[in-house]
Amino acid sequence: MIKTTLTVDERLAPADCSTMPDVRKGVDALDRALVRLLAERQGYMDAAARIKADRSKVFDRARIEDVVDKVKAAARESGLSEAIAEPVWRTLIDRCIAYEYDSWDRTKG
């Protein structure tokens, strides 16, 4: 079992930013952290492709909606606009499904 301890580069809190360089430093730090998390998520797509015996199991509409519902709930709890969260995750899911198909084809096709 892994427990990720995410480190994010030093930055000011958004409310403490007084210049655009402050804002950009914060955004860049968060982007680097997000990339590390997305790389880990991609690893789970490789695992899913390895585990799923049938390529037709890669696309699962019910799972997509379950993930989106969970993300929207987490967004509400965190103060993230659902208008940002939902389309970002739907795009992420779409790209992850495409990646998983490619991974499935590489390992089993």
| ∠ CA 100-59-95, rounded to 5° | 45
Place of tokens 């580069």: 9
Q: What's the whole-model pTM score?
A: 0.91
Nearest to 90 by CA among 79, 101, 82: 82
Quick check: 6 pLDDT over 90? Answer: no
Domain boundaries, the chain: 18-108
Homologous superfamily assigned to 18-108 = Chorismate mutase (1.20.59.10)
d(CA 32, CA 29): 5
| 58 token code pair | 């890669």
Contact between residue 58 and residue 52 where contact means Cβ atoms under 8 Å apart: yes
At 55-84, the pLDDT tens digits run 999 999 999 999 999 999 999 999 999 999
Share of the chain above pLDDT 90, in %: 93
